[in-house]
């Protein structure tokens, strides 16, 4: 991979729950992606989740309009037992 | 004091409940035991939390067991009111963002606010707790702050807009009961209009009864039930103790005294003679 492509791929990586993930579409191409698309690609489907990007809550109705450009720190949480 | 004609309900926010127990969903040996315990407790409010989760496929493969879709399915069936918590948060920012995510996840503005100041006794950081409380009340949350039994802190939480306080009985999970009854009684006396719910550290139903006898409005329990040998039976025992303590409080118990006072009449005692008395 030449340096330009490598830089592009690295720039289009995000952290999801502390793990590095590449922003790639269904065909494996690096691209800026909408949050709604990546949630589906990452396998969350219809699961009950809440999402924060860089420690800021993203409302559910904004998933479709939120563009990931690379470098974001994303937290995806679900209900769990609690006391 | 409740009038005999009025139902004796616990008011939390804009809702009222027959049960004065809030029960946790953690630490049970299985989801089925959790369900059974919650049902047998009679509680109408359950606490939940939120954590990072991998997608459902990964959870099914490695059987982490905790949380996720399986847990959500179990608790949804119960039809209870959710009280999400910010357990594990150590800073104002963490707690506020967690509360916002909880509102989005559970569709409620209720939040049991925990901002931990010490990892050994898990006591609240009172300064961060107060700051987070103010911020969340400004954002429209109904804040249930997990606090110490410090009167001044509780007064400041009230001034910040809290209608409910959740002072500890003793550190979380220690089962030591009510470590500082004097401080707890002081809170009850000095904050008569506040809803006070003892949260943390209870181990026995008698602890819960004692809290209710003091006039506390309710009790929050998790470890004492989930960690018992037979959680559903313990849940039922706590329910009875809370009811007994509440009834005792409403009945107006006698005050303790130092000297004995006979309960049977003294006049007319047989075999008593004036000569023998000299």
pLDDT at A4 over 90: no
Give dist(CA B136, CA B115) in Å, integer. 13
Per-residue pLDDT of B148-193, as tens digits, reads: 999 999 999 999 999 999 999 999 999 999 999 999 999 999 999 9
Examine the residue annotation and report whether B112 is marked as an active-site residue of this protein. yes
Q: Quick check: B81 and B44 in contact, CB under 8 A?
A: yes
Q: Quick check: B162 and B135 in contact, CB under 8 A?
A: no
Across the interface, do A78 and B34 touch by the CB < 8 Å criterion? Answer: no
Predicted confidence at residue B55, as pLDDT, reads 78
Across the interface, do B71 and A42 touch by the CB < 8 Å criterion? Answer: no
List, as one string, the DSSP characters of chain A. Answer: --HHHHHHHHHTEEEETTEEEE-B-TTS-B--EEHHHHHHHTT-TT---EEEETTEEE-GGGGGGPEE-S--EEEEEEEEE--
User: A49 contacts in B (CB within 8 Å)?
Assistant: 53, 105
> What pTM was computed for the model?
0.89
Q: Is this complex's ipTM strictly greater than 0.90?
A: no
Across the interface, do B24 and A43 touch by the CB < 8 Å criterion? Answer: no
Across the interface, do A44 and B55 touch by the CB < 8 Å criterion? Answer: yes
Closest chain B CA to residue A17: B52
Write out the E strands in chain B. Answer: 10-12, 15-17, 21-24, 45-52, 81-84, 110-113, 142-147, 164-167, 195-199, 218-221
Interface of B with A in 201-240 (CB under 8 A): 222-223, 226
Per-residue pLDDT of B50-103, as tens digits, reads: 999 887 644 443 344 456 778 888 899 999 999 999 999 999 999 999 999 999
Q: A55 pLDDT band (50/70/90 cuts)?
A: very high
Write out the E strands in B214-276. Answer: 218-221
């Amino acid at each position: 991979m030449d340096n330009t492509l490598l830089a592009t791929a690295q720039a289009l990586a995000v952290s999801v729950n502390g793990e590095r993930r590449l922003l790639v579409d269904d065909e494996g191409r690096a691209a800026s992606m909408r949050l709604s698309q990546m949630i589906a690609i990452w396998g969350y489907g219809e699961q009950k989740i809440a999402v924060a990007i860089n420690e800021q809550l993203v409302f559910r109705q904004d998933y479709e309009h939120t563009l990931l450009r690379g470098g974001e720190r994303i937290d995806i949480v679900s209900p769990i037992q609690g006391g | 004091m409740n009038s005999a004609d009025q139902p004796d309900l616990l008011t939390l926010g804009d809702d009222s409940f027959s049960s004065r127990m809030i029960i946790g969903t953690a630490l049970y040996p299985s989801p089925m035991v959790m369900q059974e315990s919650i049902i047998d407790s009679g509680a109408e409010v359950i606490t939940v939390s939120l954590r990072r989760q991998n997608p459902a496929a990964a959870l099914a493969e490695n059987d982490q067991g905790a949380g996720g879709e399986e847990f959500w399915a179990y608790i949804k069936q119960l039809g209870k009111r959710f009280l999400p918590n910010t357990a594990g948060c150590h800073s104002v920012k963490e707690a506020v963002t967690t509360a916002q995510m909880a509102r989005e996840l559970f569709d409620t503005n209720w939040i049991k606010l925990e901002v931990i100041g010490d990892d050994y006794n898990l006591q609240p950081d009172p300064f961060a707790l107060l700051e987070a409380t103010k911020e969340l009340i400004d954002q429209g949350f109904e804040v249930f702050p997990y606090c110490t039994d410090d009167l001044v802190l509780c007064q400041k939480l009230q001034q910040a807009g809290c209608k409910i306080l959740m002072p500890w009985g003793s550190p979380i999970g220690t089962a030591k009961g009510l470590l500082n009854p004097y401080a707890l009684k002081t809170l009850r006396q000095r904050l008569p209009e506040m809803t006070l719910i003892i949260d943390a550290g209870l181990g026995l139903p008698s602890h819960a009864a004692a809290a209710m006898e003091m006039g506390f409005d309710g009790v929050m329990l998790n470890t004492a039930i989930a960690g018992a040998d037979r959680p559903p039976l313990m849940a039922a025992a706590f329910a009875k103790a809370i009811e007994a303590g509440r009834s005792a409080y409403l009945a107006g118990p006698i005050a303790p005294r130092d000297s004995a006072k006979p309960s049977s009449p003294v006049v007319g005692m047989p075999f008593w003679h004036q000569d023998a008395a000299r």
